[in-house]
Structure 1
Amino acid sequence: MLKWVHENARKLGISRDKVVVAGESAGGGLSAALSLMARDKKEYKLAFQLLIYPMLDDRTAINSDPGANFGEFVWTRSANKYAWQAYLGDKAGGPQTPPYAAAGRATDLAGLPPTFIGVGSMDLFLKEDLDYATRLMAAAVPTEVMVVPGAYHVFDMYVPDAELSRRFMDAYCAALKRTLNL
C-alpha cells in the first residue's frame, strides 16, 4: 500500500513528502512496523506515524501481571494473548519474534518519522506504549505522547461523543496538522 500511495501520489493529488501511516490497536502496531520497514528499505519516506493505543509488543501477552486494572476492560490479557498467538503462532512471546511483526521488539528506533502515541491510563498497552515512546525520544525522534486519564482500550470508539474522546481526537489531529504544516 505504501508503494502504491507513493507511486500514485500525483494522481491522488498528494505530496510524497506528506505520506502518513496511522492505526489503532493492532493497526497501530502494523503502522509502527511499516515505519520500521520503510526506514530500513529506504524506498519510501514517511512524514508521520499516528499510533493510537498501538499493540506493539507480543511480550505483553505473556506478562502475568500488567498492573492493577490494566486490561480489565474491553481488551483483556486473554484477548491479547489470543491475538498474538493468532498472528505469530508459537513464536508469540518467544525470542524469535521479529520487529517487523512486533515493533516493540525493535532495538534501533533512530530515523523513524515524527510520532504521536495516544493511550488510556487503564489500557493494557499503556506500559508498552510508554516504553516505545521513551525509546523513540531517546533516539531523537520527535514524539508526542498523550495518556488519557481513566481511559481504557478503544474508549473513544465506545463513547465517541464524550468530551474526553473529542479532546483525544482533537489532540492527535492537531499533532498531525502541525507535522504536515496544515
Structure 2
Amino acid sequence: MMKVTKEQLHEDLRPFYLKANAIKPVFQYKWLTKSLNAVLNRVLKGAGIKGLKSDEISIPSSVGAHQIRTRIYRPLESEGELPVVVYFHGGGYFAGIPEQFHVYIEGFIKTKPCIVVAPDYRKSYTAPYPAGFNDCYDTLLWVKNNAQKLGASHHGIITAGHSAGGGLTAAVTLKARDTGDVPIAFQMPFYPMIDDQQPADASRYIKAPVWDSHTNKAGWGAYLSELHKTNQAIPAYAVPAKNSDYSGFPPTITLVGTLDPFYQETCRYVEALKNAGVDVAFETYEGAFHAFEVIAAQTNISQQVFDYTFSQFAKFYDRYAIREL
C-alpha cells in the first residue's frame, strides 16, 4: 500500500493536505454521502451562471417513467448552429449534481461558443448501474434528436466529464462507437473512473487525499451492486477498462495527477487509444491528488490544469467540432 504523505505532494498542494483528507469520510459512509447529496440539492440545485442563459428540462428515460433533470447552458447571444458539450458530472457514481461543475461549464462556453447539456443522472445508492449510464446515454440521444430545436449541430457533439463523469464519458462514447447512434466529434474524460479492479490491485492500492482505494471500493461497490447481487458479468459499458477494442474512437483530451488512484488506469486508457491511432492530448501532474484543481483552485498547478483544459478544448473544437458546420 502506498500512503501519500504531505511531503509527496506538489508544493502548491501541501497546504491543502489536511483539508483534502478531511473530505474522504463523506464518501466512505453511505449516510454521509446521501446527506451530501441532500445538501447539494438544497443549496445548488437550479443555480445559473451569470452571463449565460441557463434552462432546465426533463428528458424522458428510455426505460420506465423516470424523467432526467437536465441543465442546458448557452451564450446569451449566438449565431448559427453551435457544437454541444454533453457534460457528465463527477461524484463516484453515487454523489453530485451538474451545478457543482459550473467552473468547467462556464469555461467551455466562454472559451468557444457552444451549448452545454448536463444531466442530473441517477446516483447508485438510489439506482445502481445501468440507471445512471442509461440516463447519460438517453441525454446524448436526446441532444442528437433535438439538435434543430437546440440550435445545435449534429456533427459537433462532444462528450465530457470528470472522475465518475469521466467514466460515464468513456462508457457513453464507447456505446456510441459500437452502435453508430451518434457521431462524437471528440471526448474529454478527465481523470476518469474506469476500472473496478483498482481497489483490489495491491500494486495500485493508494491511501491519498480526497479519493483513494478505500473510497474507490465504496464507489464501485454501490455502482455495480445489482450486477454483483445477481452474479452478472460486468460489461464494458459499466467498467470501460474492460473494453479491448479502441478502433474508431473519437479524438480524446484527458489529464490525471500522479497521486490519483485513477493514474495508472488513465495511462493505460491513453496508451490503448494511441495504439489504435486516436488523436490524444494527455497531461499528467506530478504530486497531485484526485480533483486537486477543485480543492486548490487558486494555486499555480490548478491554474495550469484550467489553462490546459480550455486551450486543448479550443484546439479540438476548431479541428473536429466545426469542420462540417
TM-score, normalised to structure 2's length?
A: 0.53
Q: 1:22: which partner in 2?
A: 160
Q: 2:266 aligns with which of 107, 121, 129?
A: 129
The answer to whether the Cα contact below 8 Å between 1:48 and 1:176 also exists between their aligned partners in 2 is no
Deviations 1:89-141 (A, max 9, x none): 2649x993211001111000111110011100111100000000000000111
Q: 1:84: which partner in 2?
A: 220
Q: 2:240: which partner in 1?
A: 103
Map 1:47-66 → 2, pairs under 5 A: 47-66=185-204
- Number of aligned positions between the proteins: 179
The answer to whether the Cα contact below 8 Å between 1:25 and 1:55 also exists between their aligned partners in 2 is yes
Gaps (5+ residues) in structure 2? Answer: 1-138
CA 1:164 to 1:8, structure 2 compared with 1: closer, same or farther past 3 Å?
A: same
Residues of 1 paired with 2:298 and 2:154: CA distance? Answer: 33
Letter in 2 for 1:113: P
Letter in 1 for 2:141: K
SS at match of 1:37: helix
The answer to whether the Cα contact below 8 Å between 1:122 and 1:152 also exists between their aligned partners in 2 is yes
Residues of 1 paired with 2:200 and 2:288: CA distance? Answer: 23
Q: Percent identity over the alignment?
A: 35
Q: 1:156: which partner in 2?
A: 293
Deviations 1:57-99 (A, max 9, x none): 11112112316xx44111011110111010112649x993211
Residues of 2 paired with 1:75 and 1:51: CA distance? Answer: 17
- Which structure dedicates a bigger proportion of its chain to strand? 2
Aligned-pair Cα RMSD in Å:
1.8
Residues of 1 paired with 2:155 and 2:177: CA distance? Answer: 14
Q: 2:312 aligns with which of 139, 154, 175?
A: 175
Residues of 2 paired with 1:58 and 1:26: CA distance? Answer: 12
- How far the C-alpha of 1:175 sits from its partner, in A, is 1.5
Residues of 2 paired with 1:113 and 1:91: CA distance? Answer: 31
- How far the C-alpha of 1:36 sits from its partner, in A, is 0.3
The answer to whether the Cα contact below 8 Å between 2:273 and 2:280 also exists between their aligned partners in 1 is yes
Q: 2:7: which partner in 1?
A: none
Residues of 2 paired with 1:124 and 1:7: CA distance? Answer: 37
Residues of 2 paired with 1:83 and 1:63: CA distance? Answer: 16
Residues of 2 paired with 1:137 and 1:118: CA distance? Answer: 15
Q: 2:11: which partner in 1?
A: none
Q: 1:74: which partner in 2?
A: 210
Residues of 2 paired with 1:180 and 1:102: CA distance? Answer: 27
Residues of 1 paired with 2:239 and 2:202: CA distance? Answer: 19
The answer to whether the Cα contact below 8 Å between 2:207 and 2:214 also exists between their aligned partners in 1 is no
SS at match of 1:65: helix
Letter in 1 for 2:209: F
- How far the C-alpha of 1:14 sits from its partner, in A, is 2.0
Letter in 1 for 2:296: V
Residues of 1 paired with 2:217 and 2:232: CA distance? Answer: 16
Q: 1:43: which partner in 2?
A: 181
Instruction: Return the index of the structure with the highest Cα Rg.
Output: 2
- How far the C-alpha of 1:170 sits from its partner, in A, is 1.4
Q: 2:141: which partner in 1?
A: 3
Letter in 2 for 1:100: Y
